[in-house]
Amino acid sequence: MKKSLVALAALAATAAFAQSSVTITGIMDANYQAVDYMGQKLSQVGQNGARTSTFKFIGSEDLGGGQSANFQMEIQPTFVANNTNASVLGGNTQAGTNASAVAVANPVGLVGPGEAFVGFKDNTYGEVKLGTVNTNTFKTYAAVSQMGTGIGTGYSTGGVVPSVTRLESSASYDTPVWNGLSAGLQKGYGNDNKFGTTTTTYAVRNSVTDYGVAYANGPLTLRFGNRNEQAYSTGVITTTRLFGGLYDAGVAKISLATGNRKTDDTKSDANISLASVVVPFMGSYRFLVQQSAVKYTKNGGSTENGLDGAKNKVVGWGLEKDLSKRTFVYLRAENVTLGATDMKTIVVNGSALTSSTDTNNKRTLTAVGISHQF
């Protein structure tokens, strides 16, 4: 009898398990980089040149009736002696940062911030997610940036749409797809109260509302994203809008995007543009080229020191060769012009530049690497 109960329990557990699944997947991407940062030259091994290195644990349980419970935990590892590509591609544009010093900013290990959530999906009514969730604005960017967020894009480095990737402490809703059309709404909850003990500091968060609309039909994809972020300290609302489309013509994939970012206190107004082309050839090769830019029509009071009419521009290109369905090698290069950046915030060879409009505002980077998906 006891054995029968054990067997019955094991059978029940097996039946329950058969309706659930957990998948471990991810990407590892590393490269050798040669950098010329406004005359300061360096070389190093970096990561995330073509794709972001990540581990994902993805789970789903079929609840029946077209419903399911889902989760994802994404971890973005640092496995070279720096803080991923941000140490070269992003960190050096910040005040007081020395290109020769940031290479040891963070130790090797498992770090964030990946997309992580638990959610409930109904095939008829849509899906709700709670956690740290990618924004609709970022999904628009990801649809049109065919070089991703790696080398050649300048993402978050005077690039197209900085800081819209995902929202922590957020709730999102995505509709089902109706004849190629879908929509999403997300709320990132702010926190302007530092409650806790006298030895504990709680980080504040801005309040964010983000929504988007998408249409996909055959070779054509169109997306629109809108993000409204209210600063916890001043109440000023910054709005970022991005509209873009991609068309797969077979011989090439072509994408274009346009948008703007502005504050409701009229101190900042910027126009965003992006163009990208990918051409496959000889079966296993791809040629990529992309240009992205942000031009400030009004910029007073921002970190770029009010350089009205100035532009930050990134031109990138790449060549990829598939070694298998999951692995490719790549050559990537970019040329960045920080025309709208206050150059006095830039450190070169240990010293800050002395002029806000210093013409020595260019950075080039070339990398050879390998990217593997598992």
Taking the C-alpha atoms of residue 367 and residue 27, their distance in angstroms, rounded to an integer, is 18
H-helix or E-strand containing 29? strand 20-37
Taking the C-alpha atoms of residue 108 and residue 79, their distance in angstroms, rounded to an integer, is 5
Q: Quick check: is 214 in a domain?
A: yes
pLDDT tens, residue by residue, 27-55: 999 999 999 988 888 899 999 999 999 99
Q: Quick check: is 12 in a domain?
A: no
Q: Quick check: is 5 in a domain?
A: no
| Structural domain that includes position 162 | 23-373
**CATH (domain of 65):** 2.40.160.10
Q: Tokens for 22?
A: 């957990």
Taking the C-alpha atoms of residue 374 and residue 368, their distance in angstroms, rounded to an integer, is 20
| Closest among 75, 101, 107 to 88, alpha carbons compared | 101
Predicted pLDDT of residue 290: 97
pLDDT tens, residue by residue, 219-257: 999 999 999 999 888 889 999 999 999 999 999 999 999
Taking the C-alpha atoms of residue 38 and residue 36, their distance in angstroms, rounded to an integer, is 6
Predicted pLDDT of residue 361: 81
Q: Quick check: is 11 in a domain?
A: no
Model confidence, pTM? 0.84
Mean pLDDT of 128-135: 97
Q: Quick check: is 186 in a domain?
A: yes
Q: Do 53 and 108 meet the contact criterion of CB atoms below 8 Å apart?
A: no
Considering its fold, how many domains does the chain have in total?
Answer: 1
Q: What's the length of the chain? A: 374
Pairing of the two strands 311-322 and 351-352: unpaired
Q: Do 143 and 161 meet the contact criterion of CB atoms below 8 Å apart?
A: no
Q: Quick check: is 319 in a domain?
A: yes
DSSP-derived secondary structure for 28-93: EEEEEEEEEETTEEEEEEEE-SSS--EEEEEEEEEEETTEEEEEEEEEEEE-SSSSTTIIIIIGGG
Taking the C-alpha atoms of residue 374 and residue 138, their distance in angstroms, rounded to an integer, is 24
Q: Name which residue leads in pLDDT, 112 or 115.
A: 115
Q: Quick check: is 295 in a domain?
A: yes
Q: Quick check: is 17 in a domain?
A: no
